[in-house]
Amino acid sequence: MDDIIVQTPENITLVGAGQAHKGQLQAALAHAPYLVAADGGAQMVLNYGKTPKKVIGDLDSLDRPNLAKIPVGDRHHIAEQDSTDFEKCLARLRAPLILGVGFLGARLDHQLAAFNALVRNPGGPCILIGERDIVFHLPGEAALDLAPGSRVSLFPMAPVRGWSRGLDWPIAGLDFAPGGRIGTSNRAGEGPVQLGFEGPGMLVILPLAALDEAVRVLGRGGPSR
């Protein structure tokens, strides 16, 4: 893709303009030191005493005084209005793993748009970090070492089938769809949880405590397919 803005061997922390706090940003940066802001997300980054290496978006949500704090060469104005700033960033970032902060919480429509973007993401894996949860798209297979009893919720954004090992309620043979069967509030049993899906569309929602494990698994190049 000719308009890739960042291609790095480091994991990327991508900050949006939604609800988030400093602890979430610090948790992301511990795993992903390359800091990028999606438009108004730069405001949060600057408020916490940091400067993003890049700011990407239509730049309509960042006031002039704060915009002036970003070097001109690090501002990337994407004028088209057919995608969200999150989508604009995902399309132009390439890294082993992206951790998104400021895309969950606050407005529900923004969260739904972020979930849609996760499934349509043309690049590598991306984990969204919220107040209580993490969310990522799993188009293939992964094995996660989760604490027994951990909540494992599956939400389809497209019709998809899959299989599992280590869940209290196995999913093999089930047809999932946005307007049909969903898989919220499943639980991890003893031993690793293995999940596999026949194609794209399934979001995995885990407790925030599972962030380190999700980073370990997805940061190895993403789910196997």
The CATH number of the domain holding residue 49 is: 3.40.50.10240
Q: Coil, helix or strand for 69?
A: coil
- Report angle CA 35, 41, 44 to the nearest 5 degrees: 90
Mean pLDDT over 108-126 rounds to: 92
Does position 225 have pLDDT exceeding 80, yes or no? no
Torsional class of 122: left (φ above 0), alpha (ψ -120 to 50), beta (otherwise):
alpha
Q: Band of the pLDDT at 176, cuts 50, 70, 90?
A: very high
Q: In this predicted structure, what is the pLDDT of residue 1? A: 44
Does position 106 have pLDDT exceeding 80, yes or no? no
170 and 107 housed in the same domain: no
Q: In this predicted structure, what is the pLDDT of residue 105? A: 82
Closest CA to 115 of 154, 79, 76: 154
Does position 224 have pLDDT exceeding 80, yes or no? no
Question: Within 10 A of 77 (CB to CB), how many other CB atoms are there?
Answer: 11
Name the percent of the chain lying above pLDDT 70. Answer: 96
42 and 89 housed in the same domain: yes
8 A C-beta contact, residue 163 and residue 134: no
Which comes out higher in pLDDT, residue 122 or 157?
A: 157
Does residue 224 lie in a domain region?
Answer: no
Q: In this predicted structure, what is the pLDDT of residue 222? A: 52
Total number of domains in the chain: 2
Q: In this predicted structure, what is the pLDDT of residue 66? A: 86
Does residue 145 lie in a domain region?
Answer: yes
Q: In this predicted structure, what is the pLDDT of residue 158? A: 97
Reduce the secondary structure of 179-199 to three states and give it as a string: CCECEEEEEECCCCEEEEECC
Largest CA distance in the chain: 56
Does residue 2 lie in a domain region?
Answer: no
Closest CA to 57 of 98, 14, 86: 86
Q: In this predicted structure, what is the pLDDT of residue 133? A: 96
Q: In this predicted structure, what is the pLDDT of residue 140? A: 95
Mean pLDDT over 199-220 rounds to: 95
Does residue 64 lie in a domain region?
Answer: yes
Segment 126-137, tens digit of pLDDT: 999 999 999 999
93 and 169 housed in the same domain: no
119 and 11 housed in the same domain: yes
Segment 38-47, tens digit of pLDDT: 998 999 999 9
Closest CA to 201 of 180, 221, 186: 180
Q: In this predicted structure, what is the pLDDT of residue 67? A: 86
- Distance between CA 32 and CA 215 in Å, rounded? 9
8 A C-beta contact, residue 106 and residue 20: no
